[in-house]
Amino acid sequence: MIVPLSIIATAIALPIIVTAVNVSVPLAPPSGAQTLSPTLVSFSIEQDNWPDWTGTDSRNEFVHTALLNYAALTGHPPNIRVGANSEDHTFFSPTVTINEDQFPPPNTVTPYPEASTITVGDEYYQLSRFLPSGTHMTWGVNFGADNVTNAVNMVKSIIKAFKTPSVTSSGVVLDLIEVGNEADLYKNNGLRPSNWTVNQYVPDWISVAGPVAQAAGITGRNGSVSLQGAAFAGQGFTPRQIFNLGILNSAPGKDISVISQHRYSAAFCDGGSFPLVSFMSKSTIRSNLTIFNADIAATHAQGLRYILGETNSIACHGAPGVSNTAGIALWMIDYTLQASTLGMEQAFFHEGVGYKYNFIQPITLNRSIIDNSPLNPPQPPHVQPVYYGGLVVNTLVGSTGSSRIVELSVSDSNVSGYAAFEGGKLVRAVFINLHPWLASSTGTRPSVHIDFAFTGGSKSGNATARRFLIQHADDTANVTWAGQSFETASGLPSGSVVRESVVLSKGLDLPATEAVLVDF
Residue 321, classified by CB atoms within 10 Å of its CB into exposed (0-12), middle (13-18) or buried (19+), is middle
Running DSSP on this structure, what letter comes out for residue 47? S
Distance of alpha carbon 460 from alpha carbon 27, whole angstroms? 12
Find the radius of gyration of the CA atoms of the chain: 23
Residue 154's region, left for phi above 0, alpha for psi from -120 to 50, else beta, is alpha
At 431 the three-state DSSP class reads strand
At 26 the three-state DSSP class reads strand
CA-to-CA separations, 155 to 43, 143, 159, 180, in angstroms, rounded: 21, 12, 6, 12
pLDDT value at residue 11: 36
Q: How confident is the model at residue 234 (pLDDT cuts 50, 70, 90)?
A: confident
Q: What are phi and psi of 240, to 5 degrees?
A: -60, -40
352 close to 49: Cβ distance less than 8 angstroms: yes
Distance of alpha carbon 350 from alpha carbon 15, whole angstroms? 36
Q: How confident is the model at residue 18 (pLDDT cuts 50, 70, 90)?
A: low
User: Once rounded to an integer, what is the mean pLDDT over residues 377-388?
Assistant: 98
Asked if residue 81 has pLDDT above 70, the reply is: yes
Asked if residue 378 has pLDDT above 60, the reply is: yes
Instruction: State pLDDT tens for residues 274-284.
Output: 999 999 999 99
Instruction: State pLDDT tens for residues 437-485.
Output: 999 999 999 999 999 999 999 999 999 999 999 999 999 999 999 999 9
| Domain at 37-397: CATH code | 3.20.20.80
Among residues 227, 217, 60, 216, the alpha carbon closest in space to that of 127 is found at: 60
Distance of alpha carbon 479 from alpha carbon 486, whole angstroms? 9
Mean pLDDT of the chain: 96
Among residues 458, 436, 475, the alpha carbon closest in space to that of 520 is found at: 458
Domain at 18-32+404-519, CATH from 3.40.50.300, 2.60.40.10, 3.90.480.20, 2.60.40.1180: 2.60.40.1180
Q: How confident is the model at residue 6 (pLDDT cuts 50, 70, 90)?
A: very low
- Please, what's the b/e burial string for 468-483 (b: 16 or more CB within 10 A of its CB; e: otherwise)? bbbbbbbbeeebbbbb
- Please, what's the b/e burial string for 348-385 (b: 16 or more CB within 10 A of its CB; e: otherwise)? bbbbbbbbbbbbbbbbebebbbeebeeeeeebebbbbb
Give domain limits for the chain. 18-32+404-519, 37-397
Running DSSP on this structure, what letter comes out for residue 111? S
Distance of alpha carbon 366 from alpha carbon 368, whole angstroms? 7
Distance of alpha carbon 389 from alpha carbon 104, whole angstroms? 32
Cis amide linkage into residue 436, ω under 30° from 0: no
At 406 the three-state DSSP class reads strand
Residue type, 122: D
Running DSSP on this structure, what letter comes out for residue 112? S
Distance of alpha carbon 377 from alpha carbon 189, whole angstroms? 37
Instruction: State pLDDT tens for residues 110-157.
Output: 999 999 999 999 999 999 999 999 999 999 999 999 999 999 999 999
User: Once rounded to an integer, what is the mean pLDDT over residues 299-313?
Assistant: 98
Asked if residue 344 has pLDDT above 80, the reply is: yes
Asked if residue 309 has pLDDT above 80, the reply is: yes
CA-to-CA separations, 469 to 108, 262, 473, 498, in angstroms, rounded: 31, 30, 10, 11
128 close to 162: Cβ distance less than 8 angstroms: yes
